[in-house]
Structure 1
């Protein structure tokens, strides 16, 4: 019987998602937070399939659990890029480091209590110069990505949750991987999906069938 895998994350996960779905079939049944069309309307303002920051992810999962709707075996999740959004005037981060850690702990407790396995995916790199020249409404800094990834890694270790280090993998692809201020081109999305798929299938001891034969 195939594993039911649920993905929740920001727009980065939306973009590699269709490739990931193909790569983990038939070993896994892929699903994610719904509403792709609504989310694509403005990727910087989370809605629909875009999970948003850690507070949004926690609230969504609390709501779904309250309705008895956590029908999956494995949750693969990430949040971070929206958490580190910084007001250019005040310097205030959208979700403080302390709140981020607390949210992650509560997410893990909620999901694990439902006997659902978890895999965490680290937040992808930010090119400070690229971001600052293209977006003026808010800022993001790679130093915050690193800091929040460190918080997340420590939290996942505490809960004995495996981590897929998409940050390091994506950083090796260089600046050509970007298509705008923070998102990635299609070739990079395929590579990210393959990297994640391999980890999911190995972590779950599932048979990797045709992973290298996937077509775009």
Structure 2
């Protein structure tokens, strides 16, 4: 029976090595996004288990101290995301197979009803085009997640700055056009999230836990489908 035990041992070791091999070969996805992405992040990481290695811009604790002030893990507006992408490009130790990127809600902030957006539409388009270009130069596949809806009447009576859903729609359309031209897949989180509004809000723009889980599952399914298409 000694030969039998040895055979079992070899089989177990070989199986372990195969499993480890699959683990090391899992593609890595690196997330850059606003506080919406921070909230669904833990559920996305879990949903992607076995398909992707998950990582994101660091500093979640810092970001959670003030969700409307983009610091730490909060990617902020498109100029901030572009600046961070440039940092990653200069970092010779950084590696990833996929970027999962979103920005927009901080771009459309207004100090007053008549005042300009924090990042105007022209600059937003320019920044997104640069983000795509850098991703291509880094040879990292980019996937875009569009911005979630805003209910003006709820949002604008709860915080000292304004957002308007007409801007969300306009900026999302501009992003869609840029991504389509560049061959970048778009995950339409806006349309997916509409059915949870307004009951799914926990405040002016963020979502309760149940909605975060749904968003994460939707994004994970989309990302796995995108990966599978690339593998074919």
TM-score range, shorter chain: over 0.9
Counterparts of 1:86-101 in structure 2, within 5 Å, are 86-88=110-112, 90-101=114-125
Aligned to 2:175: 152
The answer to whether the Cα contact below 8 Å between 2:32 and 2:100 also exists between their aligned partners in 1 is yes
Counterparts of 1:129-140 in structure 2, within 5 Å, are 129-135=153-159, 137-140=160-163
Aligned to 1:57: 81
* Greater helix share, structure number: 2
C-alpha distance in 2, partners of 1:70/1:120?
Answer: 20
Aligned to 1:66: 90
Residue 199 of structure 1 deviates from its aligned partner by: 0.3
Aligned to 1:120: 144
> Which structure is larger by alpha-carbon Rg, 1 or 2?
2
Residues 41-97 of structure 1: CA deviation (Å, up to 9, x unaligned): 101010000000000000011012112243100000100000000111651110000
Residues 155-201 of structure 1: CA deviation (Å, up to 9, x unaligned): 00010011000000000223101000000000000000000000000
Segments of 4+ in structure 1 off by > 3 A? none
Aligned to 2:26: 2
C-alpha distance in 1, partners of 2:163/2:109?
Answer: 5
C-alpha distance in 2, partners of 1:127/1:105?
Answer: 28
Q: Does 1:177 pair with 2:197?
A: no
Residues 124-163 of structure 1: CA deviation (Å, up to 9, x unaligned): 000100011111x210000000000000000000100110
C-alpha distance in 1, partners of 2:58/2:101?
Answer: 14
Structure with the greater relative contact order (CA < 8 A, sep ≥ 6): 1 or 2? 1
Aligned to 2:56: 32
Question: Equivalent residue of 1:176, what SS?
Answer: coil
